[in-house]
Amino acid sequence: MSEAVNLLGLDAQALAALCGQWGERPFRARQLQRWIHQRLGDDFDTMSDLAKDFRHRLKQQAFVRAPQVIRDHTSADGTRKWLLDVGAGNAVECVFIPESNRGTLCVSTQAGCAVNCRFCSTGKQGFSRNLGVDEIIGQLWLANRALIASASQAGAGVMRLDADERLAGEGLQSVRPISNVVFMGMGEPLQNYAATLSALRLMLDDNAYGLSRRRVTVSTSGVVPMIDRLRDDCPVALAVSLHAPDDALRDQLVPINRKYPLAELMKACQRYLDKAPRDFITFEYVMLDGVNDSDAHARALINLTRDVPSKFNLIPFNPFPESGLRRSTDARVKGFAQRLIDAGIVTTVRKTRGDDIDAACGQLAGEVQDRTRLKERNARIPAVVELR
C-alpha cells in the first residue's frame, strides 16, 4: 500500500489526478474537495454523497490533518493567534484579525525567514525550511474550524461570503468566517513559490474557499523574478515591503535589495499591474525613528514610486529587544503620511492589532530550529546608521 496522503496538500488538479489513479471519475474529486474545504470535514465516514467503497479507500490511503495547535491566544481587541507545530522543533504562527466588514487571516509560508529584515523578529530567528501546501492551507482550514466553533459556542453569527450564500442555496451550512487572506506571516512567500502557488489556487477555487483575487494578498520583500512568475501564474493582490526610498538604506533594512535593487523592483511592479486584480501596488513602509521617517525620505519615496500606481500602508514599528530600533512618534508618522497624501498618494496608517499577544506586524516569531547560523552572521553586520 502506498503511503497515506494528506489531502489538504492537494489542489484541484492534484486531487483529480489522485482520484483518477483510484479509478474515480473527476466529479468525485470535486465532491471530495467541497467536503474538505467548504464543509471543513476530516471524517470520511460523514461524507455521505461519496460511494461507500471510495470512502473505504480514503480511510486506508488518505487523511485530512492540519498542523497541531500548541497555543491559542486571543487579544483584548479580538485578534487571535495560533502557534502551530510543524515538526522537528519548528512552530509557525498565523493570526486572525476581525473587523466589522471582514475577517482577515495572516498565514505563514516558512518556518523562519532567510531574508533577515532588520525590523522583523521572524527573521532574527533564522530559517529552517519551507512549509508544504498542507501546512499553509492547514492554517486556513484550522482557523475557519476554530472560529466557527467559537462562534457556535457564543451563539454568534458567522460572516458569510458570496460563495457561502451559494452553498446555503444548496442546503449546506454557512462556513468560512475568513473573508480575506494575506501572506504576511512568517517567511517570504515567493521563496517558497511552488507551495504558495498551489495554496493560492485552492483559496481561489470555487470548489474550495472561493475567495476572489482581490481578497488574497501576497506580500514580498522584492523577489523580482518570482513577482513576474506570480503575474503570469496567479495574479492576486500584491504588497511590497519597501521600507526605504533609496538603495543605500534599503540594503541595510531589507538585505535582499542587494540582489534586486529598487530600480528593478519598481519595473517589476509596473509589469505586475498588467494583470493584477487591483489597479495599484500596496507598498508597506515600517516607520523607524530617525532611520527612514524624515520629510526628505517622504520626498524620495514620492519620486521613487511616481510611475507606479500605488497605495502606501505606513506601519508603526513594533519593537523587540534584538532590533535596536525605535518606533517613530505619532506626530512624525502623521506628518510623513501627510506628505504622501499631499502628493496625491493614497496613504493609510496601519492600526496596531494584537500587540498584547505579540501578534502585530513584525512580531511573529514562532519557534525555529535555525540552520543558517544567523546569529553568527548578524554579529558581523554593523548597526543601522541613523539618517535624520
Cell numbers of 364, please?
A: 511573529
Q: Cα 308 to the chain's mean position, in Å?
A: 23
Strand order in the sheet with 310-316: 68-74, 80-87, 90-98, 103-106, 180-183, 216-220, 237-241, 281-287, 310-316, 346-349
Burial state string for 355-387 with b = 16 or more CB within 10 A and e = fewer than 16: bebbbbbbbbbbbbbbebebeeeeeeeeebeeb
What is the CB neighbour count within 10 angstroms for residue 120? 26
Using CA atoms, how far residue 3 sits from 28, 36, 61, 224, in Å, is 21, 20, 7, 37
Q: Say whether 361 is catalytic.
A: yes
* Active-site choice (19, 94, 234, 361): 361
* Active-site choice (93, 135, 188, 284): 93
Cell numbers of 72, please?
A: 491559542
Query: Residues 15, 7: contact at Cβ < 8 Å?
Result: yes
What is the Cα Rg of the chain in Å? 22
Q: Considering only CA atoms, which of 247, 244, 255 is closest in space to residue 288?
A: 244
Query: Residues 182, 48: contact at Cβ < 8 Å?
Result: no
Q: Considering only CA atoms, which of 27, 42, 116, 103 is closest in space to residue 368?
A: 116
Q: How far apart are CA 316 and CA 330, in angstroms?
A: 8
Active site residues: 93, 361
